[in-house]
Structure formats: C-alpha cells, structure tokens
C-alpha cells in the first residue's frame, strides 16, 4: 500500500456555551483542519489538526493548510502508510516545530491503517487495557455563582470529575472553588487550571486557601518556562500539580521529571504531534513513575475519538481524562462518539470509528 494523495481543508466549529473563557483569553469559534490521506488501494483515512487559539499555540490555520498541502503532503506521497516512524522522521526533518499540523497527518494515518486492517485504531498500538475512560469535564472561567450552577448541571448528567478554569483574583478564584464544592458535594473530583496566570507565590497563596474544598489537582499555575516556580508550588501545597503548557515533547517531559516540577503530565495529541509521539512521552512517564492523563483541545468528535483510543491503551492511566468537549461544539461534521453517565468508550469501527461528512467539509471524492 502506498500513499497517493494528501489534502487538508479548514472548517469552523462554534462554541455553543456563551461566556466560556480561560485566563489567557476567550474564543467562541474554532478553526479545525481536516486531513484526508488516500492510498493506491482505494482506502483513505481522515485526521484532524487543531491549530488552537493563537495566544495558546502561536500558530494559525492558514499556516497548517500551507504545511500539510504544500510541504508535508508531497513529502509523504509514495510512502507506506504503515511506516509511521519513517514518516514522522521525514516530517521532523522538514521542520522541528509545527507539531499540531503533524498531528493531523498522524491521525489520518491511524484512521487509514485501522480501516486497511479492519480494526479499531487502538489495536494498532497495543489494544485497550481499559474498557472505557472516566471523563473530566471542563468549566470556563465564569463568575462564582454561575460556575457553581453550571457545574451542578454537569454533575447531574453523571459526570464525577470537573476541571475549573481560574486565574482572576484571589478572592474570586477561592469563591469559585468553594461554591462549586458546595454545589456538587464531596464525591466529585475537582481540578483547577490557572493556565499560567500566577507567580509561584500567588499560586501557593491561592491554592492553600482552596485546600479546605478538597482540590485534587492543580494544573499549570505558573508560566510554562518557570520550572523552578512550578517545583516550588508542588513542594508547598497539598494537591498534586500537573504540567500542561510546560510539556510539548519527550525532552520537556524529561526536564519536568528531573526537576521535580510536577506530579502529573497532561498528554495532548494536537500539541505533541499525534498519537505516535504522545505514546513515546507516555513511556517516559511510565519509566519515571509519574502519572499522566489525556488532555483535550476544543474540537470535534474525531479528535476526541482519537483521545479515547489513546487513553484506553495507556497501561498506567488511573485519572479522569478531558474527553467530551465536542459536546459544546456546533457544526461538527463527525458522528459516532458519545459520553454516557460520565464514561466514554472507544468506537468499535475500523480506524477511528467515526463517520465524517466529507461533502460538508469539501473532502469528498
């Protein structure tokens, strides 16, 4: 089997929840890049690249399209789609960055390979060791009372884990956590995510005031490059500390581990370059005995299906994962994934197991 064609198109989805924001900014529409890879045997795969907001990723959808259609695509035409190591090495030789665009290629290849073999994508990298994944639902940075009301509604749907976006003032952040805890009760797991909003001392002060409300995990309280500050926070508070923006590849994961900066690493398919590379980072975590979970990016059922396939294959996974954000997106051309009572299971069809309306996004034929 050989790759014969690679195409990418942009598609907009809209956030159906008004007022959703994080400390770095807000965005109500999200540009996704759908990637189709065809083969000489008539089998094709569809992947998705998530450029993310420019204030997070520093990249744009236009750049993704240019890379995939004019550089990455032509470079892999003629390759065996099962030769993932060689393909990714080839793409890395063209640019040492642009991991989000590479992730779109990676997911399309996994979809293609699964379809060629007639197996779900997770069978391509060891198969499932978990039947399903407990889902951690994200909550935007609303005023405290509104956040509590929205969290209660989510928990009533069966979710048992929440991630609260914080990062305004000390008083408001603490009140958010207090009101949410009072609204959802003692059994729900709460993670708070600062998205780099604080200095180390500010983070320590806020987290200590939140500790009476049983916060389980604190995500990225300080700037991504401040590993000393992240380590100081970890040493000074009771909740476990998770690194997100500080980790984009295996080398950065190793630096986090060596500096004792975090208890947990968030694994994200888009920013880490796809499933193939994420699993290498997971192996580093496993070797070091550090926990991990699968994080998310706003997007489509196709991206979250990839997240589920990845999550169920991770042997040391015990934490809830950030799967299901597709539920707050309108105009998604994909179908086939659901979250039932706070649990998501991988689609059983070949490849990603997701039905994509190719005509809607301009990739039919």
d(CA 218, CA 191): 6
Q: What is the pLDDT of residue 298?
A: 75
| Secondary structure of 138-188 in HEC code, one letter for each residue | EECCCCHHHHHHHHHHHHHCCCCEEEEECCCCHHHHHHHHHHHHHHHCCCC
Say if residue 54's pLDDT is above 60: no
Give the chain's end-to-end CA distance (angstroms, integer).
19
Tokens of 119: 């197996």
Q: Which pLDDT score is estimated for 26?
A: 59
Comparing 24-38, 181-195, 293-307, the range with the smallest average pLDDT is: 24-38
Residue 20 has pLDDT above 70, yes or no: no
Q: Does 56 score more than 80 pLDDT? A: no
Provide the pLDDT confidence category of residue 138 given band limits of 50, 70 and 90.
very high
Which residue in this structure is represented by tokens 């005031």?
Answer: 209
Q: Look at residue 65 and tell me whether its pLDDT is greater than 70.
A: yes
pLDDT tens by residue, 307-331: 999 999 999 999 999 998 898 889 9
Average pLDDT over residues 330-350: 96
State mean pLDDT over 163-182: 97
Of the listed ranges 57-66, 154-163, 246-255, 322-331, the one predicted with least confidence: 57-66
CA distance to 27, 108, 116, 165, 194, per residue, from 305 (Å): 23, 12, 18, 24, 26
Query: For the ranges 26-30, 91-95, 228-232, 251-255, which has the lowest average pLDDT?
Result: 26-30
pLDDT value at residue 58: 63
Kindly report which listed range (45-59, 207-221, 292-306) carries the lowest average pLDDT score.
45-59
* 3-class DSSP state of 301: helix
Triad 307, 233, 237: Cα angle to 5°: 95
pLDDT at 24 over 70: no
Q: Average pLDDT over the chain, rounded to whole? A: 94
Q: Is the pLDDT of residue 36 over 90?
A: yes
Percent of the chain with pLDDT over 90: 88
CA distances from 207 to 21, 64, 240 (A): 20, 38, 11
pLDDT band for position 85 (cuts 50, 70, 90): very high
Distance between CA atoms of 83 and 109, rounded to whole angstroms?
Answer: 10
Contact of 203 with 231, CB cutoff 8 Å: no
The pLDDT of residue 240 is above 50: yes
Helices then strands (H, E): number in the chain? 14, 18
55 pLDDT higher than 50: no
Whether the pLDDT of residue 59 is over 90: the answer is: no
User: Residue 26 burial by CB count (10 A; 0-12/13-18/19+): exposed, middle or buried?
Assistant: middle
Q: The whole model's pTM is what?
A: 0.95
Cα 3 to chain centroid distance, Å, stands at 27
Ranges 11-25, 45-59, 218-232, most confident: 218-232
pLDDT of residue 27: 64
DSSP state of 198: S
């Amino acid at each position: 089997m050989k790759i014969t064609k690679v195409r990418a198109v942009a598609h907009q989805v809209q956030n159906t929840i008004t007022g959703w924001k994080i400390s770095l900014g807000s965005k109500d529409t999200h540009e996704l890049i759908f990637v189709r890879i065809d083969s000489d045997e008539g089998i094709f795969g569809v992947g998705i690249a998530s450029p993310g907001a420019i204030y997070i990723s520093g990249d744009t959808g236009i750049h993704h399209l240019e890379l995939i259609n004019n550089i990455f695509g032509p470079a892999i035409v003629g390759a065996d789609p099962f030769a993932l190591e060689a393909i990714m090495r080839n793409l890395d030789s063209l640019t040492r960055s642009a991991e989000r665009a590479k992730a779109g290629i990676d997911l399309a290849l996994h979809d293609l390979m699964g379809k060629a073999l007639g197996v779900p994508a997770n069978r391509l990298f060891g198969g499932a060791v978990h039947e399903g994944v407990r889902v951690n639902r994200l909550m935007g940075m609303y005023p405290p009372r509104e956040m509590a009301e929205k969290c209660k509604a989510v928990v009533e749907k069966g979710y048992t884990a929440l991630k609260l976006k914080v990062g305004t003032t000390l008083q408001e952040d603490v009140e958010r956590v207090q009101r949410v805890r009072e609204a959802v009760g003692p059994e729900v797991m709460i993670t708070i995510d600062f998205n780099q909003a604080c200095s180390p001392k500010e983070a320590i002060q806020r987290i200590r005031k939140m500790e009476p409300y049983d916060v389980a995990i604190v995500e990225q309280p300080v700037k991504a490059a401040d590993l000393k500050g992240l380590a100081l926070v970890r040493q000074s508070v009771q909740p476990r500390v998770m690194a997100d923006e500080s980790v984009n590849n295996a080398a950065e994961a190793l630096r986090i581990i060596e500096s004792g900066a975090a208890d947990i690493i968030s694994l994200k398919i888009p920013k880490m370059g796809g499933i193939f590379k994420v699993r290498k980072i997971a192996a580093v975590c496993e070797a070091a005995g550090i926990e991990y979970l699968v994080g998310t990016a706003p997007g489509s059922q196709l991206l979250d299906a990839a997240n589920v396939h990845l999550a169920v294959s991770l042997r040391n996974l015990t934490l809830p994962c950030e799967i299901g954000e597709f539920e707050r997106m309108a105009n998604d051309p994909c179908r086939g994934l659901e979250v039932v009572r706070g649990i998501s299971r991988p689609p059983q069809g070949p490849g990603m197991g997701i039905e994509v309306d190719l005509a809607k996004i301009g990739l039919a034929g």
